[in-house]
Amino acid sequence: MKKSVRKAVIAGNWKMNKTPSETTALINEMKPLVADADCDVVLCVPYIDIPAAVEAAKGSNIKIGAENIHFKASGAYTGEISADMLKEAGVEYVVVGHSERRTYFGETDQTVNLRTLAAVNAGFTAIVCVGETLEQRELGYTETLLKYQTKMALTNVKPEQLKNVIIAYEPVWAIGTGVTATAEQADEGNGYVRAAIAEAYGADAAEAVTVQYGGSMNAKNADELLEKVNVDGGLIGGASLKAEDFSIIVKAASK
Ligand code: PEP
């Protein structure tokens, strides 16, 4: 990783796990374990857990994120959460376009773009997820798809807003499956994402953007994945629910 230009970001994605009281307990357990991190440490938690997470993380190096954001400012959108609501709650990061949202909740490249814009326009850092299915990989579409998803997600994002964008390359076949991409596959996928950013914004801009890998990253494989030049951190699902495992990944990214 080009540490001279990019700082690693390790972000947990808790998905639909942990109640508010469990959130407080887990963050209190994590705080001392990640206190010396030489990377950014983020926990993206369910909406209901955000107040507890912000409170528990106060005074520590842990930043709190949400797992989604709606693209309208307010209105008749039952069950959705706006940028203003997240801002007031103390959120700094927002996950956008996770494959579970694309698969189960009808998220499209267009809505991912709208949510990305809502996030960056409100001053959050958007962690935008892209990734191919196993079928798409086997058909040889990985590069085309990653570049398309990346460019679609960033449509109308201004060059000066790129500092508020992280792209997470998450092969769908590796998420929550225990199957991890090899370090070479992760590096290659992240490289395609960076190439897409270079095509849209130029090489210098692309060099500065943090591109994470996500998909069954854990305490055992983090070192190997994070050593790769294009892997600037990780989006961590399952392993972010265990304080010690998460802290080992944070330490791997701090080397
Ligand atoms: C994720 O939720 O983004 C993820 C990568 O999950 P896991 O680490 O469990 O595969």
Q: CB of 13 closer than 6 A to ligand 1?
A: yes
Angle between helices 109-121 and 142-153 (to 10 degrees): 40
Residues 6+ apart with CB under 8 A from 156: 113, 117
Q: CB of 99 closer than 6 A to ligand 1?
A: no
Query: What is the pLDDT, as a whole number, of residue 178?
Result: 87
pLDDT class for 103, splitting at 50, 70, 90? very high
Query: What is the pLDDT, as a whole number, of residue 4?
Result: 58
Query: What is the pLDDT, as a whole number, of residue 200?
Result: 98
Among 9, 216, 241, 246, say which to mutate for ligand 1: greatest number of ligand atoms within 8 Å of CB: 216
Mean pLDDT, residues 64-76 taken together: 98
Atom nearest to 217 CA in ligand 1: 8
Question: Mean pLDDT for the chain?
Answer: 96
Above 80 in pLDDT, residue 81?
A: yes
Active site residues: 98, 170
Among 107, 212, 236, 245, say which to mutate for ligand 1: greatest number of ligand atoms within 8 Å of CB: 236
The C-alpha atoms of residue 74 and residue 82 are separated, in whole angstroms, by 6
Above 90 in pLDDT, residue 206?
A: yes
Query: What is the pLDDT, as a whole number, of residue 73?
Result: 97
pLDDT class for 106, splitting at 50, 70, 90? very high
What's the longest Cα–Cα distance across the chain?
48
Per-residue pLDDT tens digits for 51-68: 999 999 999 999 999 999
> One-letter amino acid identity for 159?
P
Among 170, 218, 242, say which to mutate for ligand 1: greatest number of ligand atoms within 8 Å of CB: 170
Atom nearest to 238 CA in ligand 1: 9
Q: CB of 131 closer than 6 A to ligand 1?
A: no
Atom 8 of ligand 1, residue of closest alpha carbon: 237
Atom 1 of ligand 1, residue of closest alpha carbon: 237
Q: Is beta strand 9-13 parallel, antiparallel or unpaired with respect to 40-45? A: parallel
Residues 6+ apart with CB under 8 A from 36: 254
Residues 6+ apart with CB under 8 A from 69: 81, 82, 83, 86, 94, 96, 115, 118, 119, 122, 124
Query: What is the pLDDT, as a whole number, of residue 7?
Result: 83
State the number of CA atoms in the 13 A half-sphere of 239 facing the CB.
25
Place of tokens 């953007």: 209
pTM, rounded to two decimals: 0.97
Query: What is the pLDDT, as a whole number, of residue 255?
Result: 87
Above 70 in pLDDT, residue 187?
A: yes
Above 80 in pLDDT, residue 184?
A: yes
DSSP string, the chain: --TTT---EEEEE--S---HHHHHHHHHHHHHHHTT-SSEEEEEE-GGGHHHHHHHHTTSSEEEEES---SSSSSS-TT---HHHHHHHT--EEEE--HHHHHHS---HHHHHHHHHHHHHTTPEEEEEE---HHHHHTT-HHHHHHHHHHHHTTT--GGGGGGEEEEE--GGGTTSSPPPPHHHHHHHHHHHHHHHHHHH-HHHHHHSEEEEESS--TTTHHHHHTSTT--EEEESGGGGSHHHHHHHHHHHT-
Atom nearest to 168 CA in ligand 1: 3
Taking a C-beta distance cutoff of 8 angstroms, is the pair 165, 125 a contact? Answer: yes
